[in-house]
Structure 1
Amino acid sequence: MINQNVDALPNLAHAPIGVFDSGVGGLSVLRHLVQLMPNERYIYYADTKNVPYGNKSADEILFLTLQAVDWLCKKGCKLVVIACNSASAHALTALRERCSVPIVGLVPAVKPACQITQTGQIAVLATQATLQGKLLAQVIDEVATPMGISVYKHFEPMLVPWVEQGMPITHQVADLLIEQTSQWRQMGVDVIVLGCTHYPFFRQFLQAWIDDNAVPMTLIDSGVAIARRVQSLLAVFQIASPDDAPHGEPLQFYASQLTDDVQMTAKRLADMSVSFLVD
């Protein structure tokens, strides 16, 4: 059992929310959390020593994720967000069985994509682990298939490293991203699901290409829905931070390998004050 007692309500109201990702990509989810719940405290843990998770085996992802969540629980987190689609795909069920705090995981936003598509053709851009995971297969079977909606899957292994490196637009990966989007356009795809928490960070770049070429295509991710789910769970368990809690406390950022590059990228992507700490 990964221990943390949700019954200790008075103490947990002031406890932090834990956010975990294999790298800095989960900061895209964190930004939605902070925007919706600015009174909360947050601890972010990035397993930068083992990033990316998308090309690892299911067992390896499970092991690494259990270790990370155990660490966050020992830090006193009242709720943990698995801000990593690959980790959610292979560890979410096990985490919910073992943890005594609420666990919120991610699944690519296929359901909202199906609700807004006009052509019945959507695409999911995600890691290999996410695309092969049971969570995505389940939502496609339950939502897309009954509606007769085609779901195209694509994995580009260099996207996560590209984001971690700062997303230079002259990079080969930027060209590959535009090329793939062009192919989807020709196939009639009108909604692209950004199915990895790293991907919203290049949303502005891709949206600019869509706008410049007048492409009838919408980009969508899971960030807003996850933030609302967290807010709902805090209310259900009565562990939300009080309204008079101070705003703007620096993000506590931990990493399994805290390099200068990680710190520089995290500062740029977090869009808030960051305190880098060593356990």
Structure 2
Amino acid sequence: MDNLDTSVGILDSGVGGLSVLLEIRKKLTHIPIHYIGDSAWCPYGNKSAEQIQARCFAITEQLIEMGARTIVVACNSATIHAVEALRARYPLPFIGMEPAVKPASKLTQSGTIGVLATEASIAGEKFHKLLQTHISPNGLKVITQHCPDFVTLVERGVLNGPEVEDAVKRYAQPTVEAGADTLVLGCTHYPFLRASIQQVVGPNVKLIDTGEAVARQTASIIPLDRGHGEISIHTTGNLACLQHLFPILCPSLTAELAKITIE
């Protein structure tokens, strides 16, 4: 089997999807991975569905040219607005993200869940269907909060310190004070702030994301974990920024870093 048959492509609005890449690499240690972060257009959370779809189509074309045969849409906003269109257009497996509402509904003891996400994720039909399926029938309460500064901080490589603490106090703390004992990190950027969020909200508040579940699903459809395991990371933004961020976000990985232009 050619390595191209088992290469994984990952797309995201920026560097947040690297949190998913880290989980995938734990389960697939030898598979080549191609990643494109659309930092020039980041964030996706405040873009229209049409804009997000157009960018995802263009990035997918590039990933296919690189050899990807399974594609992970490592962005909640892109999943909500583009994953079904991608599946309809391309004869490849597409694995999307969704806020971890279902597992959160099983973990909460207070009956109140906080969902930290982007505007696009919270407004999307997929999210409301999740609530109808897993929240309303169980008599649970969900408090939603979009956190634009979280994405900006991660894109700058600021994962702790006064700026992060201030943002967590503005976004996450009010949901905890309103009774949430479980917080869903509904954007792939947010796990990079997990330690800082936990420090502010306290050890008794559970934090949950779907990176590991997506990695598990990805591994389940790869026929053989073999190859040389090269990782290539491409950005539509500033290459120097990526070169600065990558060792901060993924200190355990080695990868080829490059600039890419998406029309």
**TM-score for both structures, normalised by structure 1:** 0.87
Q: Which amino acid aligns with 1:216?
A: N
- Residues matched between the structures, number: 259
Q: Deviations over 1:202-261 (max 9, x none)?
A: 0011122344xxx52100000011011111122xxxx3334xx44xx4420111124311
Matched, 1:11 2:2: yes
- Conserved? CA contact 1:106–1:226, under 8 Å: yes
Question: What does residue range 71-90 of structure 1 map to in structure 2 within 5 Å?
Answer: 71-90=62-81
Q: Secondary structure at the match of 1:159?
A: helix
1:269 equivalent in structure 2 = 249
* Residues 269 and 168 (structure 1), Cα distance of their counterparts in 2 relative to 1, 3 Å cut: closer
Counterpart among 107, 110, 126 of residue 119 in structure 1: 110
* Residues 47 and 13 (structure 1), Cα distance of their counterparts in 2 relative to 1, 3 Å cut: closer
* Residues 72 and 192 (structure 1), Cα distance of their counterparts in 2 relative to 1, 3 Å cut: same
Aligned mates of 1:168, 1:111 — CA distance in 2: 27
| Unaligned residue ranges in structure 1 (runs of 5+) | 1-9
1:55 equivalent in structure 2 = 46
CA-CA distance at 1:170 after TM superposition? 4.0
Counterpart among 210, 233, 243 of residue 221 in structure 2: 233
Counterpart among 23, 33, 39 of residue 32 in structure 1: 23
- Conserved? CA contact 1:54–1:127, under 8 Å: yes
- Conserved? CA contact 1:14–1:241, under 8 Å: no
Aligned mates of 2:95, 2:102 — CA distance in 1: 17
Q: Secondary structure at the match of 1:277?
A: strand
- Conserved? CA contact 2:14–2:37, under 8 Å: yes
Q: What is the RMSD computed on CA atoms of the aligned residues? A: 1.7
Q: Deviations over 1:184-209 (max 9, x none)?
A: 22211000000000000000111223
% identical aligned pairs: 33
- Conserved? CA contact 1:267–1:274, under 8 Å: no
Matched, 1:217 2:170: no
* Residues 161 and 278 (structure 1), Cα distance of their counterparts in 2 relative to 1, 3 Å cut: closer
1:254 equivalent in structure 2 = 234
Q: Which amino acid aligns with 1:275?
A: E
Q: Which amino acid aligns with 1:263?
A: Q
- Conserved? CA contact 2:52–2:78, under 8 Å: yes
Structure showing greater Rg: 1
| Unaligned residue ranges in structure 2 (runs of 5+) | none
1:20 equivalent in structure 2 = 11
Aligned mates of 1:144, 1:121 — CA distance in 2: 10
- Conserved? CA contact 2:159–2:196, under 8 Å: no
Question: What does residue range 98-177 of structure 1 map to in structure 2 within 5 Å?
Answer: 98-167=89-158, 169-177=160-168
CA-CA distance at 1:13 after TM superposition? 6.5
**TM-score for both structures, normalised by structure 2:** 0.93
Q: Secondary structure at the match of 1:175?
A: helix
- Conserved? CA contact 1:22–1:50, under 8 Å: yes
- Conserved? CA contact 2:173–2:201, under 8 Å: no
Matched, 1:203 2:194: yes
